[in-house]
Structure 1
Amino acid sequence: MLLHIVFLISLLLSTYSNASVQDFCVADLKGADGPAGFPCKPPATVISDDFVYPGLAEAGNVTNIINAAVTPAFVGQFPGVNGLGLSAARLDLGPGGVIPLHTHAGANELLLVIHGHITAGFISSGNIVYQKTLKKGELMVFPQGLLHFQVAAGKKGALAFAIFSSANPGLQILDFALFASNFSTPLVTKTTFLDPALVKKLKGVLGGSG
């Protein structure tokens, strides 16, 4: 029995020592995205710029219905995060701006406020709301898959950065799923208890059909 255990340990150590260890896997965005991420670029073609993303330096355009903008640095924009289990986004909120109720099916989120004040919160699966008005330098975490929101507090705008525990966290905004899609008005009414006239009005605002 002892010999069998020694043999198994030596086999595992041998397998581990001979395993191919890869420092990184910069995404080849021409390939297909799968559960393990994108395929890797050949190491010979990887350059320093693959690990730098300048896209969050510029403010997003908040001239829209929500008076806010989300600028992502997910694997699709930043191939260097492929396989690393993290990504980021910039949140620009104009006065009264709002990031409506939404979920990230694939990641937890950590929000850091850079300036201004943001009222943020999430709803647990027990239908309890956890919310807080955050100021500069404060962090809030949003557990994976739970509905959450961010709203500019006060009369000024705000800026925050979000860090996600996935290179591709996913995003679904509840209002857009209901009222910017072809989810039929009768079914939206039936499943949400909203008045049909209100559903049609919101579909008209957000461009939905059905």
Structure 2
Amino acid sequence: MAETRPEAGPPRPPEGTGAGTRGPSPWDRPEPEEIATARMVLEPLTPGHAGPMLPVLGDPALYAFTGGEPPTPDGLRRRYTLQSAGSPDRDRSWFNWILYVRGEGLPAGFVQATVDHGPAGPVADLAWVVGVPHQGRGLATEAALGMRDWLAAHGVRAFRASIHPLHDASAGVARRLGLTPAPGVDEDGEVRWASAG
């Protein structure tokens, strides 16, 4: 299982950012695109993904580290509609992709990023979830690397993630992304991982 709160919206934004409090964004936000990896296709999220994703998010075991519970069909459609519409904050962008393993037909999970594009440059908070039947195959790492590389190609240079301190699988993904953990835990009981620089 990968680290995020699958029952919630996009990853939590960094502290201290407020809607509409800055001048024009210095980052030229790209439109989400399909991302191809060695074994997967990452499709930009649409409300139509809600139905196929219900079984992925329906296993209570998926919430062992994040808390929460499986979404309802209506709740997931509303969430995906909101996420697909994009962030209302002009200094923040939401990116969400659904993971499809080639030849398997049904989705295996999702990756997402909240990009804060303030004066210091774009910083991405990353999250990933792989459904229980698909775990242990390296899909979270492959998808997260694909997402990171796509964001980096569009000017993002700093990356972060929040991970439960006992979630070894997600810590492994973060290490593969080049992130290192900060000491201690934050107010949510999670370890903040960040790229160097």
Bigger radius of gyration among the two: 1
Q: Whose RCO is larger (CA < 8 A, sep 6+)?
A: 2
TM over 0.5: no
